[in-house]
Chain A
Amino acid sequence: MLEIKNLHASVEDKEILKGINLQVNPGEVHAIMGPNGSGKSTLASVIAGKEEFEVKKGSIALEGEDLEELAPEERAHKGIFLSFQYPVEIPGVSVTNFMRTAINESRKARGLEDMPANQMLKLIREKSEMLEIDRKFLSRSLNEGFSGGEKKRNEIFQMAMMEPKLAILDETDSGLDIDALRIVANGVNKLRGKENAIIVITHYQRLLEYIVPDFVHVLHDGKIVKSGTKELALELEDKGYDWIKQETVV
C-alpha cells in the first residue's frame, strides 16, 4: 500500500530524513518508535505532504502512485490521514461544520455528491458515540480550549469519520490518561481491516498494548536502524534507546 524508498527530506536545508525505506501492506499495523528528534514527526508530515519539508531524494508511493506532486488535500482524497501530535486550534469553525466540509470536499474530489445532511448526522452520532464524545463538544470551535486528551480523541473521531486507507497516528497517546487511551485505541482498532493500514508513531510501548503492531521500526537520526515484531517494542521499553544509538555508532 505504502512504499517509501530511500527518502531524504530537509527543512531549510537541514536534512532530517536520511534515507528511509518502509513498506506497509494492506491490513498491517506498523509502529515507528525512536528518541526525540529522530525524525518521527517529520516522516509523518512528509507522507501527509507538508510543504515546509523538501523531499531531496527518494520516493513515496501509495498504491503504486507517486505522491511527490500531490498537495496535502489530494493525498487526503487518496486516503491518507494524519492524526496530529499538536492539532491546531481553529476558532469560529465548529467540529461538525469542519467535518462536514472535509467529508464533502473529499467526496467532491471523488466525483460524489454532498453527503445528505441526515446521513451526515447519523455518521457523526455513530462515530462520536464510539469515541464517547459528548454531543455538546461537536458544536464547539475546533480544538479551541480542548484539553490535550480531548484534542487527541477529536483526531481519532475525525479519522473514524474519514475512514482512511492509511492512517498515521503521530504520538496520539501523549496527553491521554488510561481510560482515554483505551477509548482511542478501541476507535483505531475498529478501523483495522484487510484494506487498511496504520502507522503508529509513539515514544512508548504503552499504546502498543492496545493497538498491537505487526511490525516495529526504530528511527534514529533520520534512518530506520532496526525493525522487528512487537517484541522489539518491549525490548525498547526495557532497555531504552541508548543501546540502539550505540549499535548504530558501531
Chain B
Amino acid sequence: MDLKDKLLSSFIAFENNVDLDSPVHEVRSEAIKNFEAKGFPSKKEEAWKYTSLNSIQKVDFSVFPKQENTLDYKDIKKYFLHEIDTYKIVFIDGVYSSYLSETTHDGVDVCLMSAAFSKPMYKQIIELYFNKVASKDESLTTLNTAFSREGAYIYIPKNKAPRKPIQIVHFATGNEAAMMLQPRNLIIAEENAEVQIIERHQSLTGNEVFTNSVTEIFAAKDANVDYYKVQNDAKTASLVDNTYIAQKDNSVVRVHTFSFGGKLIRNNLNFYQNGQHVDSTLKGVTILGEKQHVDHHTLVHHAQPNCESHQDYKGIFGEKSTGVFNGKIIVDQIAQKTNAFQQNNNILLSDKATINTKPQLEIFADDVKCSHGCTIGQLDEDALFYLQSRGIPKKEATALLMYAFANNVLESVRIPEVKKRINKIIATTLGVRVGFDL
C-alpha cells in the first residue's frame, strides 16, 4: 500500500477517536477529500519541480504511535534552549508530554490544540481562526488539516505578552521503524500583543521520520510576533513545514528559519498582509552537506498599501547537497507604497552541490519599491588571503568567512540566547574554532 492509500484508510481509524459532530470535523472531512483528489505533490508541479517526495512515499510509515513513550529530560536537555526560562510545549512521537512541558493559562493561553478543539471555552476562537489562513487546496496542508488533532495552541489577548518565550519541541523516539507526524499549531496574537516562539523538530535515532507540519499565525493590529525555526534534525528525518501568517495593521512578524540538518526539508512560508503599515521579515540561514536537501518557498502577498517586507536568505551548500529558493512577492493593485526587499545569496563549496534560486515578482501597483537579488558564488579569495596572512589556516579561514557570510542574518534575532545558540550551531557545522564569549 502506498502512503497515500495508507493515510486515507487511517483517516477512518482517526475518526473513531475524534468528535465527529464538531465543526472542526467538517473542515477535516473537506480536507481529506481534497487530499484524496490531489494526492502528494509531484515534480510535474512548478512548485515542486526541484523537490521530490517520491522516496518518502515508498516508506512504510506508522501514522499513529502504538505506545506512549517517555524521555528523560537530562537526555534531551541539549535540544532545548535551556539557558533561559521558557514555556515549553513538548511532544513525543506526536503525543503531548506533560512531564516535559510547562504550559500556562495565566493571562495568556500556552497549551494544546487538543484542548482548544475539545473545550467549549475555546470554541469561538477555533471557529474564528482555525484553518482560516491555511491553504484549502495545497495538498500537504489539507492532509495535515484532515488529521489535525494535536499541536501547540497559543493565544495572547489584547495588550498582553507572555512572561517568557515559548518553545515548541517535537521529539521522535524511533520506537517505530518509521514514523509520520502531523503537528498542527495555531498562534493568535491579539491587538498590541507580543509573543516569541522557538520551534524545533528532533529525531533521536536513525529511524525514518516524516513530519508534515502546519502552523497558522494571526497577528492583529499592532501585534508583534517572533518565530524561530530551528531545523537541525537527524539525517533520516524529513520535514515539510507549512506556515501561514495573516497580519493586520501595524503588526510586525519575523520568521527566522535555520536549516542545518535533516534529510529533506521543504519550507512553505506564506505571509498575507491584510492591513496597512504591516512589517514582515523572512530570514533564513541554510548550511548543508552530504546529500541533504532544503527547499524554501516563500510568499509575501501585499494586499494593502504602505507595507513592508524584508527577505534575506543565505545558503552554503557543500558536498552533494541541493538547495532551492523560490521567493514570490505579489503586490496587489491597491497596495501602493509597498516596500518589498528580497535577497538570496549562496555559496557553493563543491562542484556537485546545487542551488536553484528564483525570484518571482508579480506587481500590479505602480508606486512601489521592490528589489530582489540573488547570487551564487564561491568565497572571496582576497578575504581568504587576508585571514591566512594573519596565521589562520585555510580551512579555518574558509569556515570563518562562511560563518561571517551567514551570520549577518542573525542581526534581527531578538533573543540573545537564540542568537548564541544558532551561532554555536553554525560554528560547529562549519568547524570554526571561535570563542564568542570574549
Which positions in A face B, CB cutoff 8 Å?
45, 48-52, 71-73, 75-77, 81-82, 84, 87-88, 90-93, 96-98, 100-106, 109, 117, 120-121, 141, 158, 162
Contacts and interface: CB of A to CB of B under 8 A. Distances in A.
B356 interface: no
A158 B380 CA distance: 21
Contacts of B386: 84, 87-88, 90
Given A88-B383, A92-B407, A48 B389 contact: yes
23 contacts: A48-B385, A48-B389, A51-B385, A52-B381, A71-B394, A72-B389, A73-B391, A73-B394, A76-B389, A88-B380, A88-B386, A90-B383, A90-B386, A90-B401, A90-B404, A92-B403, A92-B405, A92-B406, A102-B391, A109-B391, A141-B404, A158-B390, A162-B390
B403 A93 contact: yes
Contacts of B396: 101, 105
Contact of B408 (A81, A92, A101, A158): A92
Interface size class on chain B is: 20 to 34
Q: Give the most central of B404, B405, B406: most A CB within 10 Å.
A: B404
A121 B391 contact: no
Interface string B393-411: 1101100110111111000
B382 interface: yes
Q: Give the most central of B383, B400, B405: most A CB within 10 Å.
A: B400
Contacts of A87: 386
Q: Give the most central of A51, A84, A92, A117: most B CB within 10 Å.
A: A92
Contacts of B436: 97
A92 B382 CA distance: 17
B387 interface: yes
A98 B438 contact: no
Given A51-B385, A88-B380, A88-B382, A96 B392 contact: no
Contacts, number: 94
Contact of B393 (A73, A92, A162): A73
A91 B397 CA distance: 14
A49 B385 CA distance: 8
Interface in B354-401: 380-383, 385-394, 396-397, 400-401
A97 B438 contact: yes
B392 A102 contact: yes
B388 A96 contact: no
Given A90-B387, A93-B403, A121 B438 contact: yes
B388 to A, nearest CB: 4
Contact of B388 (A71, A92, A141): A71
Interface string B412-438: 000000000000000000000111111
